[in-house]
């Protein structure tokens, strides 16, 4: 016997040996990929060793990405990466990335075809939900769960309820995936989808490019979501077909699947969004911002460090100069993105404008390095969180926005829109 299911339920059922599953059910699932980074994986490695494990479940299904403090900023971070390196060598981990090969994990893994539609992926990083844009069930876990997964290749879930979010209408100028998800979080709140699978649907989503889809799924966790999924379509297939190195299965929600809630948004009424300190839900439209002068602007991260994001920023910054006294930091998310930005002339545009161009790294997003804020400073960033002290001093302020708003604001010296530069 089967029943209509959402995409999340179908993927979980397929990986747990069930014909169907329902919300609230506890299931043991087989994993396609387990991910850790240079902050979370060292803890997992210690637990792995304490458990007496001698080998990983599958050296091809573990990814260790040293992206958070890359290049190593101090002795402690160097020691953490050494743990990843030695563990990867000992167990012949196929997907270990550091140095010139490392990229921001949630951009790097899809780019390399390591995560694919229909997969179940866990990562010891809360923004693992990014891969839901491919139609995978991907979610963040703790380091202990990652250690267990590296040993067994399995984990357990409580099947989440699904919430369907339908986006209709026509997008306003300069509005993209970042604005849609900020607006959604602003409407729902940071716990509005707590332990739910957020399913992004509707004609606007169907026309969004992959980069914008990744941005939306990336920030599902900022609404409390367990996962943020988009049903695969021809845009997904075009992205995946040239990257996949293994077979995969596509799942889509049944038309009559059950949802805990259905929300509809008229995107024609959504203008570019800004999240004010100190929560992603503190969103306002660009027309309501007022005057917020800035000390720093950051363009990059697993949310908005892709080539499409850099193209938007470069188009706005071309022939312009960063405001006096403001620091603009641009961090292409992977080596391939960095190289493409160089080839297309984007890096020269950023450099000519007065930006600092860094290597692929999470860096300032988590207040790590390469852009930490001093007391009282204000920054606008294309990253995903603006909690107290997120980018540095607890008395600094962080605002979130799209690459278009970030680029324009860097020129204006305050939060503003590209329309003000015309």
With b for 16 or more beta-carbon neighbours within 10 A and e for fewer, the 347-377 pattern comes to bebbeebbbbbbbbbbbbbbbbbbbbbeeeb
Please report how the helices 307-317 and 210-218 are oriented relative to each other, as an axis angle in degrees rounded to 10.
110
DSSP 8-state code for residue 394? T
CA distances from 178 to 34, 226, 321, 390, 406 (A): 26, 19, 24, 19, 12
Angle between helices 307-317 and 335-343 (to 10 degrees): 40
The CA distance from 279 to 222, in Å, is 9
Sign of the dihedral defined by the CA atoms of residues 278, 224, 248, 165, in that order: negative
The pair phi, psi for residue 217, each rounded to 5°, is -65, -35
DSSP secondary structure letters along 298-314? EEEHHHH-SHHHHHHHH
Measured CA to CA, the distance from residue 193 to residue 214 in angstroms comes to 18
| Domains of the chain in sequence order | 7-18+26-264 (3.30.499.10), 273-416 (3.30.499.10)
The contacts of residue 56 (CB under 8 Å, 6+ apart) are 62, 91, 93, 150, 151
Measured in degrees and rounded to the nearest 5, phi and psi for residue 292 equal: -125, 100
pTM of the predicted model, to two decimals?
0.95
Strands of the 62-65 sheet, one edge to the other:
95-97, 62-65, 33-37, 120-123, 137-140
Tens digits of residue pLDDT in 105-150: 999 999 999 999 999 999 999 999 999 999 999 999 999 999 999 9
Task: List, as one string, the DSSP characters of 27-39.
Answer: EEEE-SEEEEETT
Contact 275, 186 (CB under 8 A): yes
pLDDT digits (tens, 9 = 90+) for 353-407: 999 999 999 999 898 899 999 999 999 999 999 998 999 999 999 999 999 999 9
Low pLDDT (below 70) residues in the chain: 1-2
CA 52 from chain centre, in angstroms, equals: 33
């Amino acid at each position: 016997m089967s029943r209509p299911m959402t995409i999340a339920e179908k993927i979980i059922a397929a990986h747990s040996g069930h014909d169907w599953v329902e919300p609230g059910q506890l299931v043991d699932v087989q994993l396609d990929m387990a991910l850790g980074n240079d902050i979370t994986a060292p803890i997992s490695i210690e637990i792995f060793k304490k458990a007496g494990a001698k080998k990983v479940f599958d050296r091809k299904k573990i990814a260790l990405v040293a992206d958070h403090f890359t290049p190593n900023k101090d002795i402690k971070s160097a020691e953490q990466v050494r743990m990843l390196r030695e563990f990867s060598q000992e167990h012949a981990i196929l997907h270990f990335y550091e140095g010139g090969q490392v990229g921001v994990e949630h951009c790097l893994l899809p780019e390399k075809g390591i995560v694919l539609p229909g997969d179940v992926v866990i990562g010891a990083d809360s923004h693992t939900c990014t891969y839901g844009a491919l139609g995978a069930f991907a979610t963040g876990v703790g380091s202990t769960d990652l250690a267990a997964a590296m040993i067994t290749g399995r984990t357990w879930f409580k099947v989440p309820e699904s919430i369907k979010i339908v986006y209709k209408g026509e997008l306003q100028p300069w509005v993209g995936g970042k604005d849609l998800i900020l607006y959604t979080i602003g409407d729902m709140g940071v716990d509005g989808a707590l332990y739910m699978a957020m399913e992004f649907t509707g004609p606007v989503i169907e026309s969004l490019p992959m980069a914008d889809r990744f941005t939306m799924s990336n920030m599902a966790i900022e609404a409390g979501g367990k996962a943020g999924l988009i049903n695969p379509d021809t845009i997904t297939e075009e992205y995946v077909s040239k990257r996949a190195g293994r077979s995969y299965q596509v799942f889509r929600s049944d038309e009559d699947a059950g949802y805990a809630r259905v929300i509809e948004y008229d995107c024609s009424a959504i203008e570019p969004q800004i999240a004010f300190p100190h929560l992603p839900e503190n969103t306002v439209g660009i027309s309501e911002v007022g005057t917020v002068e800035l000390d720093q602007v950051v363009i990059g991260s697993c949310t908005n460090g892709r080539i499409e994001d850099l193209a938007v920023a470069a188009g706005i910054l071309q022939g312009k100069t960063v405001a006096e006294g403001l620091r603009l930091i641009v961090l292409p998310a992977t080596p391939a993105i960095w190289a493409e930005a160089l080839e297309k002339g984007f890096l020269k545009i950023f450099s000519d404008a007065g930006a600092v161009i860094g290597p692929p790294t999470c860096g300032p997003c988590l207040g790590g390095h390469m852009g930490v804020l001093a007391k009282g400073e204000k920054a606008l960033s294309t990253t995903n969180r603006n909690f107290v002290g997120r980018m540095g001093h607890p008395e600094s302020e962080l605002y979130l926005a799209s690459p278009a708003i970030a680029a324009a604001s860097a020129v204006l010296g305050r939060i503003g829109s590209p329309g003000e530069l015309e």
